[in-house]
Structures are given as C-alpha cells and as structure tokens.
Amino acid sequence: MTVTADELRERTKKLLAEHGFADRLAFLRARFDAGLAWVHFPEGLGGLDAPRALQSVVDAELAAAGAPDNDPRRIGIGLGMAAPTILRFGTAEQHQRYLRPLWTGEEVWCQLFSEPGAGSDLAALGTRAVRDGDDWVVTGQKVWTSSAHTARFAILVTRSNPDVPKHQGMTYFICDMHAPGVEVRPLRQITGEAEFNEVFLTGVRIPDANRLGEVGDGWRVAQTTLMNERVAIGGHALPREGGMIGIVAKLWRDRPELRTPELHDRLLRLWVRAEGVRLAGTRLRQQLAAGSPGPEGSGMKLAFSSLNQEISGLELELLGEAGLHYDDWTMRRPDKVDFTGREAGYRYLRAKGNSIEGGTSEILRNIISERVLGLPSEPRVDKDVAWKDLPR
C-alpha cells in the first residue's frame, strides 16, 4: 500500500502534537521513528516506503511549525552518500546500527575515497586492506576528506587484491574514525580555512562485520556513492534567485553606483543561465516524482559549478575596490560545508572547488558523452592489467 500525501500530512501533525521542540535531539529521534525522516526509506529505517517526492509534504508541515531540522549542511556526506550506500549494500544489523544516529546528526560521517595518486581515477587507489582473522588491517593515505575532523564514521574504499585489474580488487568498509591508527590532519586550502583533511590510516583494524558489499565488489558499491554524490551537490529545490545569483542580484539593486554596461550584460546572461538551470532542476524533480528519472541529473552538478564560478567572479568585479579585500585569512576548522555564507572573496575562491570536488567537470563531461550520448570511450591501457603492474 502506498502512503498518500494526506496520510503523510496527518502523520506529521500527529508527530507535532505529541512532541515538543525543547529537546531537539528527542524530536529528531521521534521524527525518524515515525518514518518521517526520509519518507522513501523503508519502514523502521526512518521512512515509510513512500514516493520520494512526498518528502516535501512533510518538510513543509515541519517548517511551518518551526520544527528543528537535522542540519543537512553539517551532515551532508552522511545523508547524501553514506546513507544510500548503507541502505543498498548494508546488512540488517548495519541498517539498525548506523542509519538513525546518522540522520539525527548524532554521528557525523565522512568519505575516505580520494588519495594523492587516485583522484579522478578513483579505481587506481592503493590504500591496502589485508585480511587477518575476523579483521582487516588497513594502511594508506586519503585526501580531500571534508568533515574528517568532526566525523565519527567514514565510508572507506580500499585495495584488497593488488593482483587483479584495478576495478576488481577493491573492497568497501565502514571505518570507525576513533579507531587506533586513524590520524586526521587539517589541509589548509585556497580560502585560508581547513575544510578538508588528510587522513592517514596506519594498521587500522576493521572488523569484517563492517564490510559493505562483497569482498572485491568495492567499485560497484562506490558507484552508488558517487552517483548519489552528484545528485546531492546542487540538487535542491530553490526559488528564483536562490543561491549565488540572488546574492549578486541583490548587490546590483542595492548599489547603483557599481553598475557598468559591460557588467550589466554579464549579469543578465548569468541570470538567464541560472534560471535555466533552476528550471532544469525543477524539471528533474518532476521527472523523479513521475517515476521516470531522466539523464538531466548527470549534468546538474556540472552546470551548477560553472555558474557558481562565473557569478562569484562577477561579484568581485562588481565590488571594485572592495573586491580587493578579503574577510579573514585565519585558519578555521568549519564544521559545515558553506559555499555562500561568507564574503565575496571567500565565495569566489570556494567556488573554484565546485568543478573539482565530487567529480571534476572533465570527468562529468566524459560521463555525459559516454553514458548519456553513447559516444565511444577513450582507449584504455589499464583495463586488463593487474593493479600492481600499473605505472604510477
């Protein structure tokens, strides 16, 4: 039986009637237990097996009532990437253990994927996992790990068999970030802050019970994570002038003395593109709700990143003299991902990462041209070669 919008509205009203907001965490736990956390998840795991599109019904009721939310910007990696992967490949025990505190934000997650020698070519990764009784012993180095400094757990991809071609010898784990041998070092970036980290794994023991998917099947599991990652970045419903374009449009209206004809034309071009991308996102969500997801999702992150970069660049030029200033170079350790929250210089510099993180624009164009347009792939020299024999 499918849950209807009206039933969800009733369930939400009941939740609101039975629980106050005084204890934020208690409210979030009750919401999860009522199946109103992510309604498309199974019953008992924070959902009601409802169509994904109906989440908006619940969210609107809760927002109108001023209910606390689970702060998605702080726990976005858990929500957007770890949770769908655990749901699809995890055991019943793993579902019970991890999903609830993940959703409430009690336990923050990070993603131990990229390595110094394996970025866009993720399947080249070399962090070794060696079986030892009921445990695996993991050694290697990961990089660009957002939230590693606040994370309780990580999703981790490793090399478990170096003797087979690279895509076949990977295994995927849940890693306890408090385990002995896990060392997190801040990685200061272009903005001055240390949003990212390097993570060194030295003889970290991971029980086999924390494996996600079969031994050697890590690439397939990682694909689920990566696909969800690209949907999660830039996939939210926004009103017109939501996001970066709204910031610049407001600046334009508020500061007539900054206007020039050349900047005017660029502003309007970017406004039109931003509106096109916003409408395309709306159309994508309508397709999902109608049960026929189109390929548009592959492109949204690519479109979003180039727009953010161009608009934030325009903002600095528009500001003129003030664009030469920066708000604060202090090395900070932010606990949330924030593209727009600081000042113009920060926005400009942070946006440079949008075309690199979560799949570079070049990799995304390859995905579109090969998987959407069906163009032939480049010749591959690494396909049938054991990982250990690959040049690096």
SS (H, E, C) 194-235: CCEEEEEEEEEEEEHHHEECCCCEHHHHHHHHHHHHHHHCCC
**Nearer Cβ to another protein (131/365):** 365
Q: SS3 for 283?
A: helix
Q: How far apart are CA 87 and CA 83, in angstroms?
A: 6
Nearer to another protein, 259 or 333 (CB): 259
Is the CB of 20 or the CB of 276 nearer to another protein? 276
229 is a catalytic site residue: yes
| Closest approach of another protein to the CB of residue 40, in Å | 20
Residues 347 and 244: beta-carbon distance below 8 Å: yes
Among residues 61, 195, 229, 315, which one is catalytic? 229
Least distance in angstroms from the C-beta of 138 to another protein: 34
Q: Is the dihedral of CA 378, 379, 383, 389 positive or negative?
A: negative
CB atoms within 10 A of CB 144: 21
Contacts with another protein, residue ranges (CB under 8 A): 249, 252-253, 256, 259, 261, 264-265, 267-269, 271-273, 275-277, 279-280, 282-283, 286-287, 290, 296, 299-300, 302-303, 362, 364-366, 368-370, 372-379
Which CB sits closer to another protein, 93 or 257? 257
**Is 137 in contact with 129 (CB distance < 8 Å)?**
yes
User: What CA–CA distance (Å, rounded) separates 25 from 39?
Assistant: 19
- Give the up-direction half-sphere exposure of residue 7: CA atoms within 13 A in the CB hemisphere: 11
CA 289 to chain CA mean position, Å: 21
Choose between 189 and 361: whose C-beta lies nearer to another protein.
361
At its nearest, how many Å lie between another protein and the CB of residue 53?
A: 12
Q: How far is the CB of 376 from another protein (least distance, A)?
A: 4
Which residue's entry shows tokens 């929500």?
79
Q: How far is the CB of 268 from another protein (least distance, A)?
A: 4
Asked if 170 and 216 touch (Cβ cutoff 8 Å), the reply is yes
- Phi then psi for residue 110, to 5 deg, are -130, 175
Q: How many CB atoms lie within 10 A of CB 211?
A: 24
What are the structure tokens assigned to 242, written together? 């939501």
Closer residue to another protein (CB): 187 or 249: 249
- CB-CB contact of 252 with 319 (8 Å): no
Could you tell me the smallest distance in angstroms from the CB atom of residue 315 to another protein?
Answer: 14
- At how many degrees (to 10) do helices 297-319 and 244-254 cross? 30
Q: Could you give the 3-state DSSP secondary structure of residue 105?
A: coil
For the bound state, the minimum distance from the C-beta of residue 146 to another protein, rounded and expressed in Å, comes to 26
At 106, is the secondary structure helix, strand, or coil? coil
Q: DSSP letter at 43? A: B
CB-based contact 123:89 (threshold 8 Å): no
Nearer to another protein, 29 or 278 (CB): 278
Min dist CB 256 to another protein, Å, is: 8
Cα Rg for the chain, rounded, in angstroms?
A: 22
> Nearer to another protein by C-beta: 94 or 361?
361
- As annotated, the active-site residues are 229
